[in-house]
Amino acid sequence: MSDLSLKKIHKSFGNVPVIHGVDLEVKSGEFVVFVGPSGCGKSTLLRIIAGLEEATKGTIEIDKEIVNEVIAAERGVAMVFQSYALYPHMTVFDNMAFSLKNAKVNENEINERVKEAASILQIDDYLERLPKQLSGGQRQRVAIGRAIVRNPKIFLFDEPLSNLDAALRVQTRIEISKLHKQLKSTMVYVTHDQIEAMTLADRIVVINNGIIEQIGTPIELYSDPQNKFVAEFIGSPKMNILEVENNNKLIIKNEEIKPNTSKIGIRPEHILISNEDNFKLSGKIRHLENLGEHLLTYISLENNEEIIAKVDNVGDRKIGDKINLFWDSSKIHYFNKENKRI
């Protein structure tokens, strides 16, 4: 278990800056997830922690020790990649044992560590197989096993589930979470999938264009996003944003909009259908998606903006129906012109 600290990290490739001053403290044993759109700098930041890229400016500390000059193999970190990166000509056992053999660990200990990791990951039966004789999910376990045997201070995962099909992704996600509880190691995990982030993280770091937009627990980011980017990134379907600055655009009844508000946000799951006169918005159903328990209702408002409501799947709703909407005012998020929460 280990602390990790990033101080004012900048990174440029050539003269193109991609990370613009990142500060982050990860506590020992914490599971921290970096989430953000493709290209925002997640992998670069992870590779800087691993020692696979050099920071242009700033310091990286592991256990209070500056490691900028320490090579990857000696940082005590182990990284698991999306591509698995297994050696194709080596058995599962040899893949897992490889880094230990390189480090001249004695044979008995190698045997013990590989067997233990294999048992945690339930791949004991495959130790003599080659990677090509395994399914994608099994290969990813071997890649995780290869990290476990090294007994690293910090595990780094870069989108480890992206190559798996949907069902296996859910299953492996749960296993990684259990693994964290069992090993109690510090883990930094990169994903562009906000559901993975929400379900795995102690804390989530939302990254956008090489800066941190917000750091918080999953529930803090969901209930208290600091800006429009985080508000829209966390939650699915994403938060509805309505322009309220110009009254000619949209008339919301029975709602007192804060002064200086340029936009309001309301999550689809917080919109209710109203049969009474105290509704706030009205519109027409344009499209319906039946999720079983819930119905995603796409509604076009009087000013032609569209909004999505996730409502209980009761009653008989059809495209073209007029519909009145309501919500609890405490569920509204207010944003100013700069898209900061107010």
Ligand X SMILES: Nc1ncnc2c1ncn2[C@@H]1O[C@H](COP(=O)(O)OP(=O)(O)O)[C@@H](O)[C@H]1O
CB of 44 to ligand X, least distance (A): 3
CB of 13 to ligand X, least distance (A): 3
Q: Based on the shown chain and the rule CB under 6 A, indicate whether residue 194 belongs to the binding site for ligand X.
A: no
Interface stretch with Mg ion, choices 42-50, 132-140, 236-244, 321-329 (CB under 5 A): 42-50
Q: Based on the shown chain and the rule CB under 6 A, indicate whether residue 39 belongs to the binding site for ligand X.
A: yes
Structure tokens at 91: 């058995």
Structural contact between residues 157 and 80, judged by C-beta atoms closer than 8 angstroms: yes
Q: Based on the shown chain and the rule CB under 6 A, indicate whether residue 44 belongs to the binding site for ligand X.
A: yes
Listed residue (275, 272, 296) closest to 286, CA to CA: 296
The entry of Mg ion, ligand X, none that residue 315 binds, CB within 5 to 8 Å by partner kind? none
Q: Based on the shown chain and the rule CB under 5 A, indicate whether residue 324 belongs to the binding site for Mg ion.
A: no
* Cα 224 to chain centroid, rounded: 17
Could you count the other beta carbons within 10 Å of the beta carbon of residue 22?
23
The entry of ligand X, Mg ion, none that residue 38 binds, CB within 5 to 8 Å by partner kind? ligand X
Q: Based on the shown chain and the rule CB under 6 A, indicate whether residue 227 belongs to the binding site for ligand X.
A: no
Query: Cα(175)–Cα(193) distance, rounded to whole angstroms?
Result: 17
Query: Cα(111)–Cα(149) distance, rounded to whole angstroms?
Result: 10
Query: Cα(272)–Cα(311) distance, rounded to whole angstroms?
Result: 7
Interface stretch with ligand X, choices 34-42, 54-62, 68-76, 280-288 (CB under 6 A): 34-42
From 22, 30, 41, 160, residue interacting with ligand X (rule: CB under 6 A): 41
Beta bridge partners of 12: 17
CB of 77 to ligand X, least distance (A): 17
Q: Based on the shown chain and the rule CB under 6 A, indicate whether residue 18 belongs to the binding site for ligand X.
A: yes
CB of 79 to ligand X, least distance (A): 13
Q: Which is nearer to Mg ion, 30 or 158 (CB)?
A: 158
Q: Which is nearer to ligand X, 98 or 229 (CB)?
A: 229
* Cβ-Cβ contacts under 8 Å for 151 (sequence gap 6 or more): 113
Q: Which is nearer to ligand X, 14 or 259 (CB)?
A: 14
Query: Cα(326)–Cα(261) distance, rounded to whole angstroms?
Result: 20
E strands in 114-225: 154-158, 186-191, 203-208, 211-216
The entry of ligand X, Mg ion, none that residue 13 binds, CB within 5 to 8 Å by partner kind? ligand X
Q: Is the peptide bond before 88 cis (omega within 30 degrees of 0)?
A: no
Structural contact between residues 298 and 233, judged by C-beta atoms closer than 8 angstroms: no
Q: Which is nearer to Mg ion, 31 or 189 (CB)?
A: 189
Q: Based on the shown chain and the rule CB under 6 A, indicate whether residue 42 belongs to the binding site for ligand X.
A: yes
CB of 40 to Mg ion, least distance (A): 9
Q: Which residue has the tokens 């800056």?
A: 17
Q: Based on the shown chain and the rule CB under 6 A, indicate whether residue 247 belongs to the binding site for ligand X.
A: no
* Cβ-Cβ contacts under 8 Å for 333 (sequence gap 6 or more): 225, 231, 239, 264, 265, 266, 341
The entry of Mg ion, ligand X, none that residue 18 binds, CB within 5 to 8 Å by partner kind? ligand X
Q: Based on the shown chain and the rule CB under 5 A, indicate whether residue 43 belongs to the binding site for Mg ion.
A: yes
Structure tokens at 309: 């409501």
CB of 42 to ligand X, least distance (A): 4
Q: Which residue has the tokens 């001053």?
A: 21
Q: Which is nearer to Mg ion, 43 or 140 (CB)?
A: 43
Residues that bind ligand X (CB under 6 A): 13, 18, 36, 38-44
